[in-house]
Amino acid sequence: MKVGLIQQSNTGNREENIAKLSRNIAVLAAQGAGLIVLQELHNGLYFCQTENTMVFDQAEPIPGPSTEYFGQLAALHGVVLVLSLFERRAAGLYHNTAVVIEKDGSIAGKYRKMHVPDDPAYYEKFYFTPGDLGFQPIDTSVGRLGVLVCWDQWYPEAARLMAMAGADVLIYPTAIGWESTDTEEEQLRQQDAWVTVQRGHAVANGLPVISCNRTGYEADPSGVTNGIRFWGHSFVAGPQGELLATAPDDDEANMLVEVDLARAEQVRRWWPFFRDRRIDEFGDITKRWRM
């Protein structure tokens, strides 16, 4: 399967951002991509740097304008798309939601972000209700997609549950970067940890991992912080954690990567982690803490 990733820098002009995505989708589709993954909250700026009730006006229903627009693109180009949208479920109830669009333009399924951060410059709990759809892969014409979102990528339990439900691949639309006061050494530690934990999910579950991050600088509208420089570095790892492709940190990129889904079967025969799991001793994993 040929997978496309669009690593993009955004502005406050939603129409321009979507137009750029549309052009890049066309480019990757022309190169043979069957699956194209977009970054987290790809239509606009990463608005969670501040808490502002007016931002809720950006949310939209699913189905809605974005699923209709990108559905038409998916059908036009014959590709499966992974979107990341600000979902308005009801008045006062919003989610950070990934939507998978099938090649015919229909909605194959959606996933609502389960782990929602609340850190300086990442005030997502103000905007997003934690997901309630569980860790359920989405069936498509290119395989069963285990779609998770950004902060979910730090949790091995989420990756494991997707794998146990039959996912063929793990996919993470992402928006993560550096605050400018971090030292260069600290920046490298953060990025290395981000890559390492996701490669670990690939190894532990014997599955490819696709991580699509945004890039570019976005100012803090409040001026309290120095804004976020999103570190890009989108990548694809194989089922042994091997890096198949990596995008630059500080530039936009359209990546086209060949992913062999059948290889996971062989890797799991060599490394039968699922066979040897001591599920009879794992009951405490559902507790908050152990003493």
In a domain, 137, yes or no: yes
Nearest CA to 168 out of 149, 142, 197 is that of 142
Report the alpha-carbon angle 20-21-23, nearest 5. 65
Report the predicted TM-score, pTM, of the whole model to 2 decimal places: 0.97
CA distances from 228 to 21, 46, 194, 200 (A): 21, 9, 16, 26
The SS3 assignment for 108 reads strand
Whole-number pLDDT of residue 124: 98
Tell me how many domains the chain contains.
1
113 catalytic per annotation: yes
258 catalytic per annotation: no
Residue 190 CA to residue 193 CA, distance in Å, equals 5
In a domain, 182, yes or no: yes
State the distance between the two ends of the chain, measured CA to CA, in whole angstroms. Answer: 46
Residue 207 CA to residue 271 CA, distance in Å, equals 12
In a domain, 290, yes or no: no
In a domain, 281, yes or no: no
Q: Of 150, 179, 212, 218, which is the active-site residue?
A: 150
Whole-number pLDDT of residue 181: 82
Cβ-contact 99, 85 below 8 angstroms: yes
Residue 53 CA to residue 146 CA, distance in Å, equals 32
- Which residues pair with residue 291 across a beta bridge? none
The SS3 assignment for 275 reads helix
* Mean pLDDT split into 10-residue runs, the chain, 291 residues: 98 97 98 98 98 98 98 98 98 98 98 96 97 98 98 98 98 94 93 98 98 97 93 98 97 98 96 97 95 84
Q: Domain with 80 in it: what CATH number? A: 3.60.110.10
In a domain, 287, yes or no: no
What is the distance, to the nearest Å, from the Cα of residue 233 to the centroid of all Cα atoms in its chain?
13
Residue 42 CA to residue 46 CA, distance in Å, equals 8
What is the distance, to the nearest Å, from the Cα of residue 169 to the centroid of all Cα atoms in its chain?
12
Query: Where does 72-181 show beta strands of DSSP type E?
Result: 80-90, 93-101, 107-112, 138-140, 143-147, 169-174, 177-179
Whole-number pLDDT of residue 239: 98
Residue 54 CA to residue 49 CA, distance in Å, equals 14
212 catalytic per annotation: no
Domain range spanning residue 211? 2-272
Cβ-contact 230, 187 below 8 angstroms: no
Per-residue DSSP letter, 131 = P
Q: Of 87, 102, 113, 218, which is the active-site residue?
A: 113
In a domain, 279, yes or no: no
In a domain, 79, yes or no: yes
Per-residue pLDDT tens for 216-249?
Answer: 999 999 999 899 999 999 999 999 999 999 999 9
Note the residue count of the chain: 291
DSSP 245-268: EE--SSS-EEEEEE--TTHHHHHH
The SS3 assignment for 49 reads helix
Nearest CA to 196 out of 148, 241, 151 is that of 241
